[in-house]
Amino acid sequence: MDFISSHEGLRAIYRTPDSTDIAVRKELERLDGHCRSFIARSPFVLIGSSDGEGNADVTPKGDRPGFALVLDDRTIAIPDRPGNNRLDTLENVVVNPAVGLLFVVPGMNETLRVSGEARVTVDADLRERTAVEGKPAISVLVVEVKSAYMHCAKAFMRSKLWKTESWPDRAALPTLGRILRDQLAVDGTAEQTDRGLDKAYRETLW
């Protein structure tokens, strides 16, 4: 199998957009009113990061719409809640601050892409401002925006992501308890693992 390993090789296949193309012109250096509105309505963001050696990670963050705060037109604050304590994203950004964000609004095929540099803070005011049910965020990821633009709908249209009739039958797929049981040979049954997970979800969501 041959792999493309150069910019020139890629551009031999894909047309180079010129400066008049909307795909180029739509990229903003800061958040405008439309970006702010989109983030305020988004309950879900994917965060792409990598460590100092180039190992990449993408982490989902989800909460009530507006959980990611726009502090100003160049700054976004994303709270961190109780999780598995792997800290993949947080450990990455302390050595390599470059991040890519993809904000999603349910039912909307377009997404908002943001790139910038992130830092981790335990600032008391920010943690309180992002509290849920009286529980402050454990830490907050503060992203300095370098670029932002709306991404077109083609991926969501092709995948029919929001079309419930295209969704697989959930009963035909294994539960996480079954998957962990098979992958890790954990003690107990898959049902016991699922009950433990359900309990953790109820008690430690925030």
The set of residues, in sequence order, having a beta carbon less than 8 Å from that of 40 and lying 6+ positions away, is 65, 66, 70
**Radius of gyration (Cα) for the chain, nearest Å?**
20
Residue 83 three-state SS: coil
Range of the domain at 181: 168-204
Same domain? 139 vs 118: yes
Q: How many domains does the chain have?
A: 2
Same domain? 175 vs 137: no
**What pLDDT shows up at residue 185?**
84
4 within some domain: no
Residue 88, CA distances (Å) to 3, 34, 123, 124, 143 in order: 29, 30, 20, 23, 16
**What pLDDT shows up at residue 175?**
96
Same domain? 152 vs 179: no
Same domain? 114 vs 180: no
**What pLDDT shows up at residue 133?**
92
Same domain? 121 vs 32: yes
**Averaged pLDDT in 10-residue chunks for the chain of 206 residues:** 95 91 93 98 98 95 97 98 94 98 98 98 97 96 98 97 96 95 89 93 90
pTM of the model: 0.94
**What pLDDT shows up at residue 19?**
84
Same domain? 44 vs 124: yes
Same domain? 185 vs 111: no
